[in-house]
């Protein structure tokens, strides 16, 4: 059973052909953990009726498409030649063992002189995520999807009246050197519209709980538009009393609620029937731009079955 250090010290001609072999599992777990800490490999995300969703274990020892994408990305960021033969060479193992987020994938969260309003807003969002121990993708070739509830485009208004486009759909990238970039900051809703909320439902309409999930794949929303379609568990509050508040609502967890990331097809002044609990962008053109961006993420370009990570956070908890 070889550890990462044992693979490194075994010689410069060492190559690893299959990290899924039982004898390589200790080294594989170390490799996955290091890649996760670098912000290159998604952790497992867990939650329950009693506990908000968020990052769980960093490594499972199974090297599938997600792990291979992270391995390739570390090759690229480290400037080490990649031979596309499935082998991990000694120079890669050595580089990973010496790597640190501070050096390889830095993340600057404090304000700097010259930061514009967009960068400062992105840093506020990321500082909140960091305080919650949410995972942040740190490669310049990856994107962080974040919905902020009850928050205007400038981050200066925390009112959250029902049936309004008063939430944000944000996409944040970490640039080389660690400065965040707010790629998109679009009108959205994370809440059901009043007409849908008011319709009789045996459990009450679903409203997604705050947390971070890995629960969406590229697919179709109601067979009418391309979207990020729910593919795994999310945690929801069921608004049985139809009062528009999560407080006191019964909580459920499920993978088949249809909580998709989709859009309207026409610009509207109110949410109305456009959301029955989905994460909905207000404008179709912005939705297409959102999809184009997230589909350029290296985790998706190397794996069309990739499951996207998304955080849903409360705007009134974001400090300046």
Tokens 């640039």 -> residue: 175
pLDDT tens digits, residue range 147-189?
A: 999 999 999 888 888 899 999 999 999 999 999 999 999 999 9
Please check whether residues 81 and 165 belong to one and the same domain: no
Same domain, 161 and 301: yes
Residue 112 domain flag:
no
Q: Which of 78, 104, 130 marks a domain boundary?
A: 104
Cβ–Cβ < 8 Å for 150, 156: no
Average pLDDT of the residues in 8-37: 83
Whole-prediction pTM: 0.96
Q: Is 251 part of any domain?
A: yes
- Do residue 128 and residue 263 come from a single domain? yes
Structure tokens at 170: 């944000």
CB 233 within 8 A of CB 251: no
Query: How far, in Å, CA of 182 to CA of 145, rounded?
Result: 10
Distance CA 5, CA 30 (A): 10
Whether 179 and 78 map to the same domain: the answer is no
Total tally of structural domains belonging to the chain: 2
Q: Return the pLDDT at 14.
A: 59
Position 245 confidence tier, pLDDT thresholds 50, 70, 90:
confident
Could you tell me if residue 110 is inside a domain?
A: no
Q: Is residue 109 part of a domain?
A: no
Please tell me the distance from the alpha carbon of residue 4 to that of residue 197, in angstroms, as a whole number.
53
Same domain? For 64 and 185 the reply is no
Q: How confident is the model at residue 207 (pLDDT cuts 50, 70, 90)?
A: very high
Q: What tens digit of pLDDT does each residue of 250-286 get?
A: 999 999 999 999 999 988 999 999 999 999 999 999 9
pLDDT tens, residue by residue, 87-143: 788 889 999 999 999 999 999 999 999 999 999 999 999 999 999 999 999 999 999
Looking at the structure, tell me whether residues 147 and 259 fall in a common domain: yes
- 64/121 same-domain check: no
Q: What is the pLDDT of residues 128-157, one digit of tens each?
A: 999 999 999 999 999 999 999 999 999 988
Q: Helix or strand or coil: residue 59?
A: coil
Range of the domain at 23: 4-104
Tell me what the mean pLDDT of segment 62-73 comes to. Answer: 93
Residue at 111 is within a domain: no
- Say whether pLDDT at 12 is over 90: no
């Amino acid at each position: 059973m070889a550890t990462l250090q044992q693979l490194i010290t075994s010689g410069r001609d060492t190559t690893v052909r299959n990290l899924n072999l039982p004898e390589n599992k200790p080294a594989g777990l170390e490799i996955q953990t290091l890649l996760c800490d670098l912000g290159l490999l998604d952790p497992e995300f867990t939650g329950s009726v009693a506990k908000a969703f968020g990052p769980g274990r960093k490594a499972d020892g199974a090297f599938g498409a997600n792990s291979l994408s992270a391995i390739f990305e570390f090759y690229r960021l480290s400037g080490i030649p990649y031979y596309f033969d499935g082998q991990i060479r000694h120079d890669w193992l050595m580089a990973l063992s010496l790597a640190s987020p501070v050096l390889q994938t830095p993340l600057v969260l404090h304000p700097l002189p010259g930061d514009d309003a967009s960068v400062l807003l992105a840093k506020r969002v990321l500082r909140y995520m960091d305080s919650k121990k949410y995972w942040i993708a740190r490669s310049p070739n990856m994107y962080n999807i974040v919905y902020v509830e009850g928050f205007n485009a400038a981050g200066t208004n925390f009112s959250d009246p029902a049936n309004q486009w008063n939430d944000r759909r944000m996409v944040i990238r970490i640039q080389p050197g660690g400065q965040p970039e707010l790629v998109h900051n679009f009108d959205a809703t994370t809440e059901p519209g009043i007409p849908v909320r008011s319709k009789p439902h045996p459990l009450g309409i679903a409203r997604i709980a705050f947390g971070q999930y890995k629960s969406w794949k590229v697919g179709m929303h109601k067979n009418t538009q391309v979207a990020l379609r729910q593919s795994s568990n999310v945690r929801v509050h069921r608004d049985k009393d139809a009062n528009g508040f999560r407080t006191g609502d019964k909580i459920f967890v499920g993978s088949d609620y249809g909580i998709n990331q989709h859009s309207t097809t026409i610009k509207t002044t109110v949410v109305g029937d456009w959301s029955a609990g989905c994460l909905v962008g207000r404008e179709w053109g912005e939705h297409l731009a959102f999809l184009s961006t997230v589909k350029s993420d290296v985790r998706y370009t190397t794996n069309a079955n990739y499951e996207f990570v998304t955080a849903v956070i409360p705007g009134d908890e974001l400090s300046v």
